[in-house]
Structure 1
Amino acid sequence: MADPATYRPAPGTIPTDPGVYRFFDAFGNVIYVGKAKNLRQRLNSYFADPAGLHFRTQTMVRTAAKVEWIVVANELEALQLEYTWIQQFDPRFNVKYRDDKSYPWLAVTMADEFPRVFVGRGAKKRGTRYFGPFGQAWAIRETVDLLLRVFPMRSCTQGVFNRARSSGRACLLGDIGKCSAPCVGRVSPEEHRGIAEDFCSFMGGNTGGIIGRIEREMYQASADLNFEKAAVLRDSLAALKRVQEKNSVVLKEGVRADVVGFADDGRQVAVQVFHVVDGRILGERGWIADRADETPITELLEAFLRQLYAEDQEIPPKIYSSVEAEPELEALLTVRRGANVAIRVPLRGAKRALLDTAVRNAEENLAQAKLKRSTDLDARSTALTEIADAVGLTEPPLRIECYDISHTMGTEVVGSMVVFEDGMPKKSQYRRFIIKSFEGSNDVAAMDEVLSRRLRRLLDERNSDVHVDATTGEAAKFAYAPALIVVDGGLPQVNAANAVLERFGLDSEIALVGLAKRLEEVWLPGEEYPVIMPRASEGLYMLQRLRDEAHRFAITHHRSRRAKHVVESVLDDVPGLGELRRKALLTYFGSLRKLRQASEAEIAEVPGFGPTLAAAVKAAVAGTGGEAINLTTGEVTEV
Structure 2
Amino acid sequence: MAKHKKSASLTEKISILPDTPGVYMYYDSEGTVIYVGKAKNLKRRVSSYFNRTHDSLRTNLLVRAIVDMSYIVVPTEQDALNLEASMIKEYQPRYNVLLKDDKSYPWIVVTNEPFPKVFMTRQRIKDGSKYYGPYTDSGSARAILELVRKIYCVRSCRQPMTLDWIKAGKGRLCLDYHLKRCKGCCTGLVSSEEYNRDIDRIRAILRGETGELLAYLRGEMEKLSMELRFEEAQELKEQYDLIKRYQAKSVIVSQTIEDIDVFGIDDEDSDVYINYMHVRRGAVVKSVTLEFKRRLDESRAQLLGYAMSEIAESLGVKFDEVIVAEEPDVEMPSVKFVIPQRGDKAKLLEVSQKNARQHRVDRIKTMEKRNPETRTERILQRMQSDFHLSELPHHIECFDNSNIQGTNPVASCVVFKDAKPSKKDYRHFNIKTVVGPDDFASMKEVLTRRYSRLVSEDKPLPQLIVVDGGKGQLSAAVEALDDMGLRGRIAVVGIAKRLEEIYFPGDSIPLYIDKNSETLRVIQHLRDEAHRFGITHHRNRRSKSQAVSELDGIKGVGEKTRTALLTHFKSVKRLREADLDTIAELIGPAKASIVYGALHAVDEN
Q: Same fold (TM over 0.5)?
A: yes
Q: Following superposition of structure 1 onto structure 2, how do residues 386-465 of structure 1 map, counting pairs within 5 Å?
A: 400-402=394-396, 419-421=416-418, 425-427=419-421, 455=451
2:315 maps to 1:295:
no
Q: 1:34 to 1:347 in 2, by over 3 A?
A: same
- Could you tell me how far apart the structure 2 residues matched to 1:28 and 1:125 are? 38
Find the partner of 1:258 among 248, 252, 261: 261
- Report the equivalent of 1:603: none
Q: Secondary structure at the match of 2:253?
A: coil
Residue 342 of structure 1 aligns with an amino acid whose one-letter code is K
8 Å contact kept, 2:454–2:460: no
- Could you tell me how far apart the structure 1 residues matched to 2:332 and 2:446 are? 54
Find the partner of 2:463 among 457, 461, 485: 485
- Report the equivalent of 2:133: 131
- Could you tell me how far apart the structure 2 residues matched to 1:108 and 1:43 are? 45
Q: Following superposition of structure 1 onto structure 2, how do residues 538-553 of structure 1 map, counting pairs within 5 Å?
A: 549-553=518-522
Displacement of 1:265: 1.2
- Report the equivalent of 1:153: 154
Displacement of 1:372: 4.3
1:6-55 Cα distance to aligned partner (Å, 9 max, x none): 46324971558343223246787755332335544432343468885443
Q: Secondary structure at the match of 1:215?
A: helix
- Could you tell me how far apart the structure 2 residues matched to 1:318 and 1:432 are? 62
The aligned length equals 462
Displacement of 1:294: 1.3
Q: Following superposition of structure 1 onto structure 2, how do residues 177-196 of structure 1 map, counting pairs within 5 Å?
A: 177-182=180-185, 186-187=189-190, 192=195, 194-196=197-199
Find the partner of 1:168 among 156, 172, 178: 172
Q: Secondary structure at the match of 1:81?
A: helix
Find the partner of 2:288 among 255, 266, 285: 285
Q: Secondary structure at the match of 2:79?
A: helix
- Report the equivalent of 2:92: 92
In the superposition, the TM-score normalised over structure 2's length comes to 0.59
- Could you tell me how far apart the structure 2 residues matched to 1:83 and 1:447 are? 61
Displacement of 1:560: 13
Displacement of 1:142: 4.4
8 Å contact kept, 1:261–1:355: yes
8 Å contact kept, 2:25–2:70: yes
- Report the equivalent of 1:554: 523
Greater Rg by CA: 2
Q: Secondary structure at the match of 2:285?
A: strand
2:238 maps to 1:235:
yes
Residue 354 of structure 1 aligns with an amino acid whose one-letter code is L
- Could you tell me how far apart the structure 2 residues matched to 1:37 and 1:405 are? 56
Q: 1:320 to 1:53 in 2, by over 3 A?
A: same
- Could you tell me how far apart the structure 2 residues matched to 1:450 and 1:147 are? 74
Q: Secondary structure at the match of 1:230?
A: helix
Find the partner of 1:66 among 65, 68, 74: 68
- Could you tell me how far apart the structure 1 residues matched to 2:182 and 2:14 are? 71
Q: 1:14 to 1:118 in 2, by over 3 A?
A: same
- Report the equivalent of 1:329: 331
Q: 1:187 to 1:195 in 2, by over 3 A?
A: same
Q: 1:311 to 1:180 in 2, by over 3 A?
A: farther
Displacement of 1:368: 3.6
Residue 463 of structure 2 aligns with an amino acid whose one-letter code is I
Q: 1:552 to 1:233 in 2, by over 3 A?
A: closer
Displacement of 1:297: 1.1
Residue 170 of structure 1 aligns with an amino acid whose one-letter code is C
1:317-356 Cα distance to aligned partner (Å, 9 max, x none): 3211122235x5331xx2xxxxxx3211110122212322
8 Å contact kept, 2:132–2:206: no
1:493-512 Cα distance to aligned partner (Å, 9 max, x none): xxx999978977999xx986
Please identify, of 25-34 and 142-151, the stretch whose mean Cα deviation from structure 2 is larger: 25-34
2:337 maps to 1:343:
yes
- Report the equivalent of 1:532: none
- Report the equivalent of 1:108: 109
- Could you tell me how far apart the structure 2 residues matched to 1:404 and 1:34 are? 48
- Report the equivalent of 1:8: 10
- Could you tell me how far apart the structure 2 residues matched to 1:320 and 1:131 are? 20
- Report the equivalent of 1:82: 81
- Could you tell me how far apart the structure 2 residues matched to 1:156 and 1:317 are? 39
- Report the equivalent of 1:22: 25
Q: 1:446 to 1:87 in 2, by over 3 A?
A: farther
8 Å contact kept, 2:120–2:141: yes
- Report the equivalent of 1:206: 209
8 Å contact kept, 2:135–2:141: no
Find the partner of 2:355 among 358, 361, 366: 361
Displacement of 1:272: 1.9
- Could you tell me how far apart the structure 1 residues matched to 2:294 and 2:172 are? 58
Q: 1:125 to 1:432 in 2, by over 3 A?
A: farther
- Could you tell me how far apart the structure 2 residues matched to 1:241 and 1:29 are? 56
Q: Considering only aligned residues, what root-mean-square deviation do their CA atoms show, in Å?
A: 5.6
Q: 1:157 to 1:285 in 2, by over 3 A?
A: farther
Displacement of 1:298: 0.9
2:200 maps to 1:216:
no
Displacement of 1:235: 2.4
- Could you tell me how far apart the structure 1 residues matched to 2:427 and 2:276 are? 41
- Could you tell me how far apart the structure 2 residues matched to 1:354 and 1:12 are? 44
Q: Secondary structure at the match of 2:11?
A: coil
1:434-484 Cα distance to aligned partner (Å, 9 max, x none): 999657xxxxx9998886576468689x89xxxxxxxxxxxxxxxxx6586
Find the partner of 2:321 among 318, 321, 332: 318
Q: Secondary structure at the match of 1:293?
A: coil
Please identify, of 271-280 and 234-243, the stretch whose mean Cα deviation from structure 2 is larger: 234-243
- Could you tell me how far apart the structure 1 residues matched to 2:87 and 2:28 are? 16
- Could you tell me how far apart the structure 2 residues matched to 1:511 and 1:58 are? 29
1:397-449 Cα distance to aligned partner (Å, 9 max, x none): 9981247999xxxxxxx99977454xxx435669899999657xxxxx99988
Q: Secondary structure at the match of 2:328?
A: coil
Between the aligned residues of both structures, percent identity stands at: 24
